[in-house]
Amino acid sequence: MKRVLSVALTLLILTAVTTALPAVGAGVGAAASAAAATRLEVVWMGWPKDLLDEQLAPFLQANPDIELDIQAVPFNQLFQTLEVRLASSQPPDVFIVDGPLTASYAHRGYLMPLDSLIYEEELAEFFPASVEACKYRGVLYALPYTSSAAGLYFNIDIFNEYGVELPPQKPGDRITWEHVLELARRLTVDSNGDGQPEVWGLLIEQSDRPYQLLPLAESLGARPLSPDGSTSEGFVNSEAFIKAARFYGDLFNAEKVSPVGILDAPVVREYFGSGKAAMMLGAEWNISRLAEFEGFNFGLSAHPAFEGGRAVTPTGGWHVGISSRIPSDKLDAALHFARYMTSREASAAWARLFGNAPARRDAYEALPDLFSNYMWEVLLYDMEHTASPRPVTPAYLEFEARLKDAFNAIQFGADPTEALNEAARLIDRELARYR
Amino acid sequence: MSRPPTPAQPSARLAPIQRQARLRERLHPTHRNLRSELLATAAFLAPALALLAAFRLYPAAVSVAQSLQGGSLQAYRELFADTTFLKSVRVTLAYAAMASPATVAVSLLLALVLQGSGRVRSLVRTACFLPSTVSMSVVAVTWGMILDPHFGLANSVLSAVGLPRQLFLASPVQALQCLAALSVWRNAGYWMMFFLSGMEAVPKSVYEAAQLDGASPLQCAVTITVPLLAPTLGFVLVSNTVVNCLAFAPVFILTRGGPLGSTNVLMYEAYKSAFTYLDMPRSSAISTLVLAAVFALSFLELKLIQAGFGGDRQ
Amino acid sequence: MIGPNRIGASPLSRASLLAFRVAGYALVAALFLAPLAWVLASSLRRPGPLYQYASPLSWRLFIPDRPTLANFAHALTSLGMDRALRNTAFVAVTTALAGLVVNSMAGFALAALSFPGKNMVFAAVMVAFMAPFDAIVIPLHRAVSSMGLVNSWAALILPAVGNGMAIFLFRQFYHEYPKEILEAARVDGASWLRLFWQVVLPSSGPALAAAAVLIFMHQWNSLFWPLVAAYSEKYTMAQVIVASQIAVDGTRWASLFATSVLSSIPPMMLFFLLQKHYLRGIGGFGGN
């Protein structure tokens, strides 16, 4: 019996030791609340908890009758978690929605229609593209929490070191992709001649994701789906799309100005921030992220376009949705919370804390110290003039995954025509299930 | 090769009682006895079986039923005509064929070398176990950086000793091998623990006898330890096969099935089918096939071990 | 440390053998530990670039120049790691204790008792062990929620108590159990249950220790099930916090490494403390 007991004892001692860890963090949820408080169950993106707590503190202070039970879900598990929880009998009351998935959730009846609950004038300050992205078949299903934009970041020190002229730094003033390629060729440097560049010409932050790559094809006039969203054959494998995809593939293979196989956005940022590349096509949050690298000297130029093509830039962000099955006595509190999170104050607060672009204009005026610089002006201009939302389709999840597979294959050297034909075939098969 | 001597001590002492017991059983095969035997068996099995039935077998049955949506084999027929699936089968088999034997061999070797007392060994054992305690997401970051094709540590080391740089996870040929190596690193110490625990069951007297005969440590390992470890070896081999055939996390977090589908193992394909293509029948059909295949493979492995080591001593 | 069969060896070769062995241990440990040393060093550094000392390679990668515990303090006070560690320890220990009882009994029955349908029961246990978790998670979630258990400690603990792999482990272990002892006790009139508790279990140290680590680790490393089964903030588990440090729009490396190091300590301690149970120091390779 002695051995059994000591196995059990070891386990118990372990709990005791772990439990004795300093119980310093009181946590937001620990505040005792009145018995009458409405308890909202929220699924949120797993951003750093300390920042999240900071953003929610004013709301909790102002609304002692609302208790928030926030589940911060890690990014890699968020979509899977929502799939299980939304289909279950206990869906969250309020949840964060990746913008292009609004249609998918609405189509499957997970989201509460908000048309009769939100006043038209409440939407006035949001960017029209952001509001459009919250609608499915003309009905509003969510409120925009963030927007996004992308541009061409460059390492000023590397440009100076090799005597290359910096790209323009004015709103709407963009260089062509052909020019970017030429700069990238000059700035891909293998100084010790081992066949391995010490400095790469161009990085793409989300290097195989449609969010980052669709604007290339759209700049050449291509679009991924037919206008009614019913088919991709002849669109995702159109001549223009293939041409853009070939340009993308050549960056990694024929031209070798971009490092193949670096797919994780955080690692791509580390490359750029550590001076391992001259340029990076990346989203707006890099203004904050790159500032975290000590002494890093970077600039931003507007998102490039192809020679003779259209200026098209990516956009889209996170939305706040309310469950279609929320108990009626919780609806008011849920609406109040959704309104707060998408308010001028909260949008601006989140931009200050984490650097995501607010989806409403007045938030930019709220924080002049943060937004009054040329980088945000460049991005803001594009958000208002050239932003092209991703296609609205209930099959977005499937569409995105198939197209990402194609881009991924092309990065690793697959033939663009073949990869995109395959993507068209697979996407159309998925789309057929929604007809 | 001589069979290891079996522990003689207890059986010699107990032999008369044993004979008596058999005799009694043969004389009084009463109903009451049989019923109480069955009741006792039920008491032993019921808690575990109830839990497994509710939380594993029932959901698994639901999943199998889902793959047969509308009573048709449609999902299976589509799978066998699907090149992505067929390639995924090959990738999974290749992965398991690399990772499982290597893990079993390394963990057995570690156990043989590190068994016994002593502070140094105890620390080294803990060190070997440590990789299995690290969160998968951190394993991915760490190894992603070690194997980074452009600025990784592994390439720094290769260049320093004058060897050519490698693409590692960015190479369709090497990516799967890298994942298998990573799996050995992460799991060898964990499986070592089971071997150590199995060695404990080998009576000390056996070793003493062998050492008196002048057997070297290596001879002891080959002729005594390993054969007496047959049940543990069966456990580790089968469990390893299962775990590796069901591998998902490293692929999900490190390569996402790429490059060019070279690490697209079946469970990752099943995951994508369920959670991004929203095609439950396909996902369930893949899982069902994996389960059936792994079951058959495990059965075969257990039989082989039994045959190879002259059967269970039961 | 050196076996009795080498007693006659000369002192010189004994010394060189010892040196050889120590070098071997060091190599094995280094191979296993180098990546972890980097993780540990990174968790002790102030936040900075990930590749700072890796490319070009520097010894600083493994030894931080101004070590700080700030990342750990931040993880424990501001990221909720303190509560998550307590929660995870509670869940893992409870599951392991209950699981040891339940699974050892089932494993014993499968190895030592004879009853009709034994092979079927073993097959069912193996199927339960092999059922891919991602395939069963949706029906499992539905089952747990129809029992009214969703969002409770029970939802985290109960589904993991019955463990096919642990039953398999015990079955294999009890194969070795001397039948004679069982039969003798049976003849003396002991019931199977009493026999199991008083005779079998007390001599099952090695298997219990290994199974305890198995079940504990299974719960300690779980990430996805806790996210869907017990979603209230008060149930947050350790791996969820670790994984939360990674995001497409901002990964905090220092927090990632610090939370990971913190979450490695309890399983490591468990392994270290339980070692003596599967290592009595038997004869053979130089042990005493």
Chain Cα centroid distance, residue B39: 33
pLDDT score for A4: 67
Q: Is the pLDDT of residue C283 over 80?
A: no
Of residues B212 and B242, more confidence is placed in B242
Confidence of residue B7 (pLDDT cuts 50, 70, 90): very low
Residues 151 through 180 of chain C touching chain B, CB cutoff 8 Å: 158-162, 164-165, 167-169, 172-173, 175-176, 178-180
Q: Is B57 on the interface with C (CB under 8 A)?
A: yes
Q: Quick one: how many helices (H) and strands (E) in chain C? A: 13, 0
* Burial of C271 per CB tally in 10 Å (0-12, 13-18, 19+): buried
A432 touches chain B (CB under 8 A): no
**B274 contact partners, CB below 8 Å, separation of at least 6:** A83, B280, B283, B284, C134, C135, C138
Does the structure show a pLDDT above 60 at B157?
yes
Q: How far is C239 from chain B (nearest CA, A)?
A: 7
Q: Which residue of A has its CA nearest to B145?
A: A267
Per-residue CA distances from C88 to C96, C155, C236 (Å): 12, 13, 8
Contact B104, B237 (CB under 8 A): yes
Total domain count, chain B: 1
pLDDT at A267: 93
State whether A412 and B172 contact (CB < 8 Å). Answer: yes
Q: How far is A57 from chain C (nearest CA, A)?
A: 14
> How far apart (Å, rounded) are the C-alpha atoms in residues A40 and A42?
6
Copy the structure tokens of residue A23: 């119980």
Contact indicator for A272, A155 with CB cutoff of 8 Å:
yes
Residues 261-280 (B) with a CB less than 8 A from some CB of A: 271-272, 274-278
Q: Do A18 and C243 touch (CB under 8 A)?
A: no
Please indicate if any CB of chain B lies within 8 Å of the CB of C286.
yes
> Which helix (H) or strand (E) element contains residue C30?
helix C11-43
Q: Are A382 and A152 in contact (CB under 8 A)?
A: no
For A29, the closest of C205, C233, C269 (CB atoms) is C233
Instruction: Give the C-alpha separation, C40 to C38, whole Å.
Output: 5
The reply to whether B33 falls in a domain is: no
- Are A178 and A306 contacting, i.e. CB atoms less than 8 angstroms apart? yes
- Rounded Cα distance between C8 and C15, Å, is 13
Between A and B, how many residue pairs show a Cβ–Cβ distance under 8 A?
65
Would you state the pLDDT for residue A27? 39
Whether B19 is covered by a domain: the verdict is: no
CATH of domain A37-147+316-388: 3.40.190.10
Read off the CATH number of the domain in which B81 is found: 1.10.3720.10
What is the rounded CA–CA span in Å between residue B181 and residue B103? 9
Query: Is B170 close to A430, i.e. CB distance below 8 A?
Result: no
Can you tell me which residue has the tokens 């390439």?
B155
Pick the more confident residue, C259 or B27.
Answer: C259
Three-class SS state of B112: helix
Tell which of B18, B58, B110, B137 to mutate to test the C interface (max C CBs under 10 Å): B137
Instruction: Tell me if B7 is assigned to some domain.
Output: no
Q: Tell whether the model's pLDDT for residue B26 goes beyond 50.
A: no
Alpha helices in A162-238 (DSSP H): 177-187, 210-219
Q: Which residue blocks in A67-176 are alpha helix, DSSP H?
A: 75-87, 102-107, 128-133, 156-161
Q: Which of A80, A196, A398 sits opposite B150 (nearest CB)?
A: A196
Our CA dihedral for A293, A294, A296, A299, rounded to 10 degrees, sits at 70
Can you give the residue ranges of every domain in chain A? Answer: 37-147+316-388, 150-312+394-432
- Residues C187 and B17 sit within 8 Å (Cβ to Cβ): yes
Strand partners, A155: A298
CB nearest to C138's CB, from A3, A84, A206: A84
What percentage of chain B carries pLDDT values higher than 90?
48
Residues on chain C touching A145 (C-beta within 8 angstroms):
none
Q: Is residue B125 within 8 angstroms of chain A, CB to CB?
A: no
Query: What tens digit of pLDDT does each residue of B65-91 get?
Result: 999 987 889 899 999 999 999 999 999
Q: How far apart are CA A27 and CA A29, in angstroms?
A: 6
Confidence of residue C62 (pLDDT cuts 50, 70, 90): confident
Domain membership of residue B158 as a residue range: 75-308
Task: Count the alpha carbons within 13 Å of A143 in the hemisphere toward its beta carbon.
Answer: 31
**Which is it for the CA torsion C195, C208, B244, B82, positive or negative?**
positive
The class level of CATH for A150-312+394-432 reads: alpha beta
pLDDT tens string C5-53:
444 445 557 777 777 777 777 777 777 788 898 899 989 988 888 887 7
Q: CA triplet C150, A64, A333: central angle to 5 degrees?
A: 60
Of B40, B113, B202, the CB nearest to C192: B40
Gap from C125 CA to chain A (nearest CA, Å): 24
In three-state secondary structure terms, A67 is strand
Model pLDDT, residue B293: 95
Q: DSSP letter string over C93-105?
A: HHHHHHHHHHHHH
d(CA C287, CA B207): 11
Q: How far apart, in Å, are the Cα atoms of B207 and each of A394, B193, B313?
A: 68, 20, 18
Chains touching A (3+ CB pairs < 8 Å): B, C
Q: What pLDDT score was predicted for residue B10?
A: 44
Say what the pLDDT of residue B25 is: 54
Q: How far is A403 from chain C (nearest CA, A)?
A: 18
pLDDT at B174: 93
Which residue did the predictor score with more confidence, A383 or C63? A383
Alpha carbon dihedral A200, A206, A208, A213, in 10-degree steps, equals: -100
Tell how far CA A359 is from the center of its chain.
Answer: 13
Of A264, A276, A412, the CB nearest to B259: A412
With a CB-CB cutoff of 8 Å, which residues 41-70 of chain A face chain C? Answer: 41, 43, 45-50, 53, 69-70
* pLDDT band at residue B251 using 50, 70 and 90 as cut-offs: very high
Note the pLDDT tens digit of each residue in B277-300.
888 999 999 999 999 999 999 999
* Neighbour-count burial of C16, counting CB atoms closer than 10 A to its CB (0-12 exposed, 13-18 middle, 19+ buried): exposed
Name A203's bridge partners. A280
Q: Which two tokens stand for residue B233?
A: 């070896």
Sequence letter at residue C14 = R
Element (DSSP H or E) covering residue A151: strand A150-155
Nearest to B260 among A267, A271, A409 (CB): A409
Pairing of strands A94-98, A38-45: parallel
More confident residue, C95 or A391: C95
Q: Flag whether residue A80 sits within 8 Å of chain B, measured between CB atoms.
A: yes
Q: B163 or C238: whose pLDDT is higher?
A: C238
For the segment B46-51, the average pLDDT, to the nearest whole number, is 96
**What pLDDT does residue C5 have?**
43
Q: Quick check: B252 and A263 CB within 8 A?
A: no
CA C224 to chain centre: 17
> The tokens of B92 are what?
């999974």
Residue of chain A minimizing CA distance to C236: A71
Contacts of residue B130, defined as CB under 8 A and 6 or more positions apart, other chains included, come to B189, C32, C33, C36, C264, C268
C28 vs B111, B125, C18, CA distance in Å?
12, 10, 15
Helix axes B136-146, B174-200, angle to 10 degrees: 130
Residue ranges and CATH numbers for the domains of chain C are 4-68 (no CATH), 74-278 (1.10.3720.10)
pTM of the model: 0.89
Contact flag C202-A294 (C-beta cutoff 8 Å): no
Residue B61: exposure state from Cβ atoms within 10 A (0-12, 13-18, ≥19): middle
pLDDT band at C1 (very low <50, low <70, confident <90, very high): very low
Q: What is the pLDDT of residue C7?
A: 42
Tell me the C-alpha to C-alpha distance, in Å, between residue C42 and each of A274, A288, B1, C80, C260: 16, 22, 52, 20, 11
**C-alpha pair distances (Å), C12 with each of C5, C21, C288:** 16, 14, 22
- Asked if the C-beta of A88 comes within 8 angstroms of chain C's C-beta atoms, the answer is yes
Token pair 């000297």 in the structure block, residue: A297
DSSP 3-state of A201: strand
B248 in contact with A at a CB cutoff of 8 Å? no
3-class secondary-structure state, position C242: helix
Same fold, A37-147+316-388 and A150-312+394-432: yes
Q: Which two tokens stand for residue A219?
A: 């700049």
C125 CB contacts (<8 Å, ≥6 apart)? Answer: B48, B52, C106, C110, C164, C167, C168, C171
Best of B278, B279, B282 to disrupt the A interface (most A CBs within 10 Å) is B278
Q: Among A103-112, B108-117, B263-272, C135-144, which stretch is predicted with the lowest mean pLDDT?
A: B108-117
CA distance linking residue B158 with residue A106, whole number of Å: 53
Pick left, alpha or beta for residue C286 (phi over 0 → left; psi -120 to 50 → alpha; otherwise beta).
left
Query: Residue C225: what residue type?
Result: W
Return per-residue pLDDT of chain A as tens, 435 residues: 566 667 777 777 766 666 555 443 333 344 444 457 899 999 999 998 899 999 999 999 999 999 999 999 999 999 999 999 999 989 999 999 999 999 999 999 999 999 999 998 899 999 998 999 999 999 999 999 999 999 999 999 999 999 999 999 999 999 999 999 999 999 999 988 777 899 999 999 999 999 999 999 999 999 999 998 899 999 999 999 999 999 999 999 999 999 999 999 999 999 999 999 999 999 999 999 999 999 999 999 999 999 999 999 999 999 999 999 999 999 999 999 999 999 999 999 999 999 999 999 999 998 888 999 999 999 999 999 999 888 889 999 999 999 999 999 999 999 999 999 999 999 999 999 887
| Residue B103: HSE in the Cβ half-sphere, 13 Å Cα cutoff | 33
Average pLDDT, chain C: 85
Q: Tell me, what's the pLDDT at C12?
A: 59
Chain C positions touching A88 (Cβ under 8 A) are 141-142, 145, 150, 228
